[in-house]
Amino acid sequence: MNAGIDELPLFVPEGAVLFRAPVIESTAEWPAAELTFEIFARQATRREYYEDDGASFAYREKGYFKREISFTPAAGGVTVALGDAQGGFSPKHRDNVVLLHFARKPSAVRLNGTPVAGSAVRFDPEQRTLAVRVPQSRDRLTLAVEW
């Protein structure tokens, strides 16, 4: 993707997983904001996501939320796994979005074996991105995409 003259380009290495939130005016807006896991990969990769309250030392006593995000390509699609959460902190945002770059139009999208459709799945053919909204959860979530 090209950056316009009035845009700052973002250079991302192959296999990167970026954790992004929308621009907000204050941290009070964070519970309503969604967290996006942007995956820039064509080959298997994994990264760790970490969050805490940002205000205390509770992280020293497991007051954090940590999970592994893995991306595994297959002949007919990809699998993205959001691992079981570790720690006692619970993020306030209700939803996460898995955003796959280098995507194709999916023939099926499943979350833990259940079909995902409608507004929870957005494919952009021009940008070649697939966005799938998944609920915030402490449990393992497995997103399977078939091309």
Q: 84 near 145, Cβ under 8 Å?
A: no
Written as one letter, the residue type at 60 is R
Written as one letter, the residue type at 142 is T
Does the residue 24 lie in any domain? no
Does the residue 115 lie in any domain? yes
Q: 132 near 101, Cβ under 8 Å?
A: no
62-78 average pLDDT score: 95
Structural domain count, the chain: 1
CATH number, residue 41: 2.60.40.1180
Q: Give 2 or 5, the one with higher predicted confidence.
A: 5
Residue 33 has pLDDT above 90, yes or no: no
Q: Residue 77: left (phi > 0), alpha (psi -120 to 50), or beta? A: left
Measure the CA–CA gap between 35 and 93, rounded to whole angstroms: 7
Q: Give 33 or 147, the one with higher predicted confidence.
A: 147
Does the residue 4 lie in any domain? no
Does the residue 62 lie in any domain? no
Measure the CA–CA gap between 34 and 136, rounded to whole angstroms: 9
pTM of this prediction? 0.89
The domain containing residue 131 runs over which residues? 32-48+71-83+93-146
Does the residue 36 lie in any domain? yes
- Looking at residue 85, its pLDDT comes to 96
CB crowding 78-105: b at 16 or more within 10 Å, else e = bebbbbebebebebeeeebbbbbbebee
Could you tell me which residues come within 8 angstroms of residue 110 by beta carbon, excluding any fewer than 6 positions away?
A: 116, 143, 144
Does the residue 3 lie in any domain? no
Does the residue 6 lie in any domain? no
Q: What is the per-residue pLDDT across 96-112, written as a single tens digit (0 to 9) for each?
A: 999 999 999 999 999 99
What's the whole-number average pLDDT of the chain? 91
54-83 average pLDDT score: 94
Q: What is the DSSP letter of 86?
A: B
- Looking at residue 29, its pLDDT comes to 67
